[in-house]
Chains A and B, each alone.
Chain A
Amino acid sequence: MEETGWIRRMFEEGMALKKTYGEEHVYDFSLGNPDVEPPEQLQKELIETLTRSPRGMHRYMQNNGYEDVREQIATYMKEQYGLPFTAQHIYMSAGCAGGLNIVLKSILNKGDEVIVPNPYFMEFKYYIESHGGIIKPVDTLDTFQLNIDAVDKAINKKTKAILINSPNNPTGVVYTRETLKGLANLLYKKRKEGHTLYLISDDAYRKLIYDNVELPNIFRIYDLVISVTSHSKDLALPGERIGYIAISPHIDNVDALVSALMFSSRALGFVNAPALFQRVVGRFQRNSVDILDYQKKRDILYNALTAAGFHCVKPMGAFYMFPQSPLKDELEFIHILQKEERILVVPGRGFGKKGYFRIAYCVPLEKIMGVLGGFKRIAQRYITKG
């Protein structure tokens, strides 16, 4: 609990601060809970679906979801990734978190290891451990791109999969084609040596990418890919718990994997993804919330922080930024931020990486404008110009 409690702890400290100083005087950048609303079209579709109210629309369906919805998604995936996805390759899940859990339960045996590039979303650790697996965090490069040599060294007989997340929480980095090709080469090399490894790709932020940065087609770079995504961010539906698993058409015997996923979703208590939102999201695969809005926020905040002297890798996607802490002990630093400027962020150790802190900038623009002065003052006080 110690390591994961950070996001929530900061959130709760924030609530206390808000009570003391008033909401408008607190700058809470601790939670990835976007303030945006779902696309208007989607809200209309939701009302229309409920007004039509087809008989049986709230009943159980197959554990993997409605076939017509999976068909719609498969069509989208086929267009996007140029591979022969069918409805059978799509498995509706209760968001990304639900999808990852049923995938991990389906592929892991007790003691199997899963490599996760560090820093990482701390929940991955729990997801892996819940199903008897062992997490092997592997440090990334200074750019937060994958360190292929380090991944190579971390692979052993027990390694079952590598779990990546791009665009990345907490760094906002998008893995380059070169990086992913390097990873694929390594995994293919291992295959030749008789060791088969899955690539699990958490694609929750895949539509939140700035400056037309390329999101490499992971399904074409490696064959044994299981992608897990959600509509929490792109359609701004985090509370509704809706997402899906996309199994690469390159994976043999997809039926066996789907049966395992069905069993896992029943055994873990998900049973199926929520019915109503399955029906709604099928038609919105090409939509997304306004990216430019996020991009503007990223630009303002990134430019202000770097101008003030913070060291930070420029985020290419998602809505997180992961600057270096000016003080070696980032815990001390975030307490200063909180005390002196009422700015709430999450310490890097909440993501397995001390000496950094995470800013979630999915907040109203006024909050971003309002916080700039605070960061500037803090920088003047604590960043020693070298």
Chain B
Amino acid sequence: MKDSSWIRAMFEEGEKMKKLYGEENIFDFTLGNPIAEPPIALKKELVRIVTADTKGMHRYMPNSGYEEVREEIAKFHRQQSSLPFTHDHIIMTVGSAGGMNVVLKSILDPKDEVIVPCPFFVEFKFYIENHGGVMKLVDTTSDFHLDIGKIERAITKRTKAIIINSPHNPTGVVYHENELKGLASILNKKKKAGQRIFILSDEAYRKIIYNGIAFPNIFTLYDDTIVVTSHSKDLALPGERIGYIAISPLIKNGHHLINATIFANRILGFINAPALMQRLVGKFQQNSVDIMEYQKKRDTIYNILVESGFEVTKPMGAFYIFPQSPIKDDVKFVRFLQKHHILAVPGIGFGKSGYFRLAYCVDLQRIEGARQYFNEVGAHYRK
């Protein structure tokens, strides 16, 4: 519990600070709870659906979700990948978090290992351990890309999957096609030797990518791929808990895996993804919240950090940035930031000391407002 509590601990300390200094004087970058609203067309569609009042629209449906919604999503994936996706390959889930749990429950036997590149979203550890698995952290390169050599060395006979998350929380990195090909090639080597290792790709941020950077389609690079995504970020519906699992049509005997996920969805207590939101999201696979808004925020926070003297990798997507802490002890540094009215999460909360995470999914004025404090803190450490 201890390693997971950082985000919340910071959040709670932040609440205290806000009471003390007034909310407008505290710049809270701790939580990935976007202030963006869902697209207007989506809100209209939601009203239309509930007004149409189709009989039975709030009842149970097949555990995998409405067939016509899954078909819409399959169509999207057919277009994106040119692979023969059908509604059978899509399982509607309670967000990405629900989807990850369902997949891990379906593929893991006790003591099976799952490789996770570090730094990482700390919940992955709990998702894996919930289902008897063991997490194997593998460090990324200094710019947070995959270290294929290290991954290869971390694979054992018990390795069942590798979780990748691109665009990445907490670093904002997007993996290039080349490094994903590199990953595929070592996994294919294992496959030839008789060991199937899944790529479990958490694509919750896939539509939030800046400067037109290409987002490689992992389904076309590796056969044994399972994608989990949600509409928390792209359609700004995090509270509604809606997402899905897409299972590659290229997985051999994929129907076993599909059946296992449907079963896991039920027995983990999800039963099915919320009905109304399923009906809603099918039609919005091509849509997204305004990326340019996020990009402006990214540029602003990045420039502020650079001008203040921080070492930082420029994020290519998502809405997180992961600068180096000027001192080794990132917890101490985050407390120092707090004294300067800025709330951040220490890198240790993502398995990587010496860094800190800022979630910049806040109003642009808040980011601008924090500039003077970042400048002050930067100046303090340059002395």
Contact A269 B99 (CB under 8 A): yes
CA distance A102 to B275 in the complex (A): 21
Contact A266 B97 (CB under 8 A): yes
CA distance A50 to B268 in the complex (A): 30
For residue A127, CB closer than 8 A to chain B, the reply is yes
Contact A267 B47 (CB under 8 A): no
With a cutoff of 8 Å between Cβ atoms, the chain B residues found around residue A47 in the complex are 47, 50-51
For residue B43, CB closer than 8 A to chain A, the reply is yes
Q: Which of B122-130, B162-170, B291-299, B333-341 contacts A (4 or more CB under 8 A)?
A: B122-130
CA distance A53 to B101 in the complex (A): 31
Contact B239 A94 (CB under 8 A): no
CA distance A273 to B273 in the complex (A): 11
Contact B47 A37 (CB under 8 A): no
Instruction: Using A1-B263, A275-B239 as known contacts, say yes or no to A130 and B60 having CB atoms under 8 A apart.
Output: no
Min distance, Cβ A165 to any Cβ of chain B, angstroms? 15
Q: Which of A173-181, A217-225, A238-246, A373-381 contacts B (4 or more CB under 8 A)?
A: A238-246
Q: Which of B50, B101, B237 contacts A50 (CB 8 A)?
A: B50
Min distance, Cβ B55 to any Cβ of chain A, angstroms? 7
With a cutoff of 8 Å between Cβ atoms, the chain A residues found around residue B61 in the complex are 239
Contact B267 A58 (CB under 8 A): no
For residue B81, CB closer than 8 A to chain A, the reply is no
CB contact list, B46-100 vs A, under 8 A: 46-47, 50-51, 53, 55-61, 94-95, 97-100
Instruction: Using A58-B240, A268-B130 as known contacts, say yes or no to A240 and B275 having CB atoms under 8 A apart.
Output: yes
A239 and chain B: residue at smallest CB distance: B275
With a cutoff of 8 Å between Cβ atoms, the chain B residues found around residue A127 in the complex are 267, 269
Min distance, Cβ B47 to any Cβ of chain A, angstroms? 5
CB contact list, B1-27 vs A, under 8 A: 1, 4
Q: Which of B43, B50, B130, B274 contacts A241 (CB 8 A)?
A: B274
For residue A185, CB closer than 8 A to chain B, the reply is no
With a cutoff of 8 Å between Cβ atoms, the chain A residues found around residue B102 in the complex are 269
Instruction: Using A269-B94, A271-B241, A274-B240 as known contacts, say yes or no to A101 and B50 having CB atoms under 8 A apart.
Output: no
Q: Which of B37, B51, B58, B267 contacts A237 (CB 8 A)?
A: B58
Min distance, Cβ B248 to any Cβ of chain A, angstroms? 21
With a cutoff of 8 Å between Cβ atoms, the chain A residues found around residue B270 in the complex are 94, 97-98, 241, 269-270
Contact A59 B34 (CB under 8 A): yes
With a cutoff of 8 Å between Cβ atoms, the chain B residues found around residue A263 in the complex are 1, 4
For residue A56, CB closer than 8 A to chain B, the reply is yes
Q: Which of B37, B99, B268 contacts A55 (CB 8 A)?
A: B37
Min distance, Cβ A241 to any Cβ of chain B, angstroms? 5
Q: Which of B53, B60, B101, B237 contacts A239 (CB 8 A)?
A: B60
Min distance, Cβ A257 to any Cβ of chain B, angstroms? 14
CA distance A105 to B60 in the complex (A): 25
Min distance, Cβ B5 to any Cβ of chain A, angstroms? 8
Contact B101 A269 (CB under 8 A): yes
CB contact list, A119-136 vs B, under 8 A: 123, 126-127, 130
For residue B375, CB closer than 8 A to chain A, the reply is no
Q: Which of A95, A100, A267 contacts B130 (CB 8 A)?
A: A267
CA distance A263 to B4 in the complex (A): 9
Contact B269 A239 (CB under 8 A): no
CA distance A123 to B264 in the complex (A): 11
Instruction: Using A269-B100, A270-B241 as known contacts, say yes or no to A240 and B94 having CB atoms under 8 A apart.
Output: no
For residue A168, CB closer than 8 A to chain B, the reply is no
Query: A31-B60, A270-B241 given. 19 additional CB < 8 A pairs?
Result: A33-B59, A37-B58, A47-B47, A59-B34, A61-B239, A94-B241, A94-B269, A130-B105, A239-B59, A239-B61, A241-B272, A266-B97, A269-B97, A269-B98, A269-B99, A269-B102, A270-B98, A271-B94, A271-B241
Give me the interface of A with B, judged by CB distance under 8 Å: 1, 4, 31, 33-35, 37-38, 43, 46-47, 50-51, 53, 55-61, 94-95, 97-102, 105, 123, 126-127, 130, 236-241, 263, 266-277
